[in-house]
Structure 1
Amino acid sequence: MHKKLKNNQKWFWLGVILVELVLFISSSLTYKQQTTIPFMEKYLGSNNRPFYSFLKGTGFHYGGKYQSLGNDGYFNFLEFFIRKGAHFGIYFLLGLFICLALYSYFSNNWFLRIFIPWMSATGLAAFDEFHQGITGGRSPMIADVILDSFGSICAILIVLFIIYLISRHQKKRHPFSMEY
């Protein structure tokens, strides 16, 4: 298993680069260039409001503001979930690729296999928020860095758990083989 990861390392680094490219381009756009609200208004209209009954009773604090349907309106509140889901998802992918790319560098040190990719992704999230801060119409948020960091640690823990299970299964099937 470890040999396969080492052989595919260049592809994992390519994944890291592609995700970072998407992040850089995305954080270079102003809010008006990125908003999905006009798209939702056009295709959902005023009568078709999926998840309305679920969202109606939902409210919480995020980034120093109370987010709710009543405070933000339907489309803004729905877009909030889309944007934060994108934050979590893209950093989930980044954490996954960084973890796989760095996996062979930290042989038998599970702490570093978790910590280094996680801190790398978190550092990139902080840089991305800084980049947003110098882009017009955008503001950096520490809450977004925390959300991004959580997305990356989720991916890292899932990947390492799967690798552990696969390695354990291979050891049971081939107890005298040296390639794990």
Structure 2
Amino acid sequence: MENTLKKNIKWFWSGVILIELILFYSSSMTYKQQTSVPFLEKYLSRKPMSDTLKSISFNYGGKTQSIENDGYYHFVEFFIRKGAHFGIYMILGIFLCLALYVYFKNNNFLRIFIPWMTATGLAAFDEFHQGMTGGRTPAVVDVILDSTGALTGALMIVLILYLVSRYKEKNNSKI
């Protein structure tokens, strides 16, 4: 399995670089350039799940998030944006973990910790970069969300690769 990972390492690093380019471009855009509210207004004109969403209210980064405070479309957009934060950093965590996996033989802690901390540092840099963009505000809580996504991705990969290696060992011992 390690040979397969070594053979594909350039693809894993390419994935890391591609994600970082996407993140850099995205954090260079103003909120107005990036908002999905007009799209949501056009395609969710009937406001699906509105009754369910009305009952949801929580604090995120010192601000209460709810339909009452933000309106339906901005509230839905909030979930899309934060889901994108978590998801893109989960994918980054996966690619970083795969790219660095072979360097930390027999040390699953470092196989998780190094990609996680690398992605967390990149998330902090991305928020800093976002702060230099007009109409955007950097948020520590977004770095925490990004970091959680990266940790989830790294944990998933280490667990999957562990289970695959156990499965291969088990099948090889039967032969």
- TM interval, short-chain normalised: over 0.9
Q: 1:32 to 1:90 in 2, by over 3 A?
A: same
**Does residue 116 of structure 1 match 2:114?**
yes
1:94 matched residue in structure 2? 92
1:21 matched residue in structure 2? 21
C-alpha displacement at 1:39, in angstroms? Answer: 1.3
TM-score of the pair, normalised by structure 1: 0.94
SS of the equivalent of 2:137 reads: coil
- Cα RMSD between the aligned structures? 1.3
Aligned residues: 175
Structure 2 letter corresponding to 1:159: I
Kindly report which structure 2 residues correspond to 1:153-164, keeping only aligned pairs within 5 A, or say none. Answer: 153-164=151-162
**Does residue 38 of structure 1 match 2:38?**
yes
1:77 matched residue in structure 2? 75
Q: Distance in 2 between matches of 1:175 and 1:104?
A: 24
Runs of 4+ in 1 over 4 A off after TM superposition: none
Q: Deviations over 1:110-164 (max 9, x none)?
A: 1110110000000000000000000000000000000000001011111110000
Q: Distance in 1 between matches of 2:30 and 2:88?
A: 18
Q: Distance in 1 between matches of 2:152 and 2:48?
A: 28
Q: Deviations over 1:59-95 (max 9, x none)?
A: 0000010111111110110100000000001001100
C-alpha displacement at 1:176, in angstroms? Answer: 9.8
SS of the equivalent of 2:93 reads: helix
Q: Distance in 2 between matches of 1:18 and 1:169?
A: 32
Structure 1 letter corresponding to 2:8: N
Q: Distance in 1 between matches of 2:106 and 2:174?
A: 19
Q: Distance in 1 between matches of 2:171 and 2:36?
A: 50
Q: 1:53 aligns with which of 51, 55, 71?
A: 51
Unaligned runs of 5+ in 1: none
Structure 2 letter corresponding to 1:23: L
Structure 2 letter corresponding to 1:123: G
Q: 2:145 aligns with which of 144, 147, 160?
A: 147
Q: Distance in 2 between matches of 1:176 and 1:44?
A: 56
Structure 1 letter corresponding to 2:111: R
Structure 2 letter corresponding to 1:8: N
1:133 matched residue in structure 2? 131
Q: Distance in 2 between matches of 1:22 and 1:30?
A: 15
Q: Distance in 1 between matches of 2:44 and 2:109?
A: 47
Q: Distance in 2 between matches of 1:42 and 1:170?
A: 51
2:11 matched residue in structure 1? 11
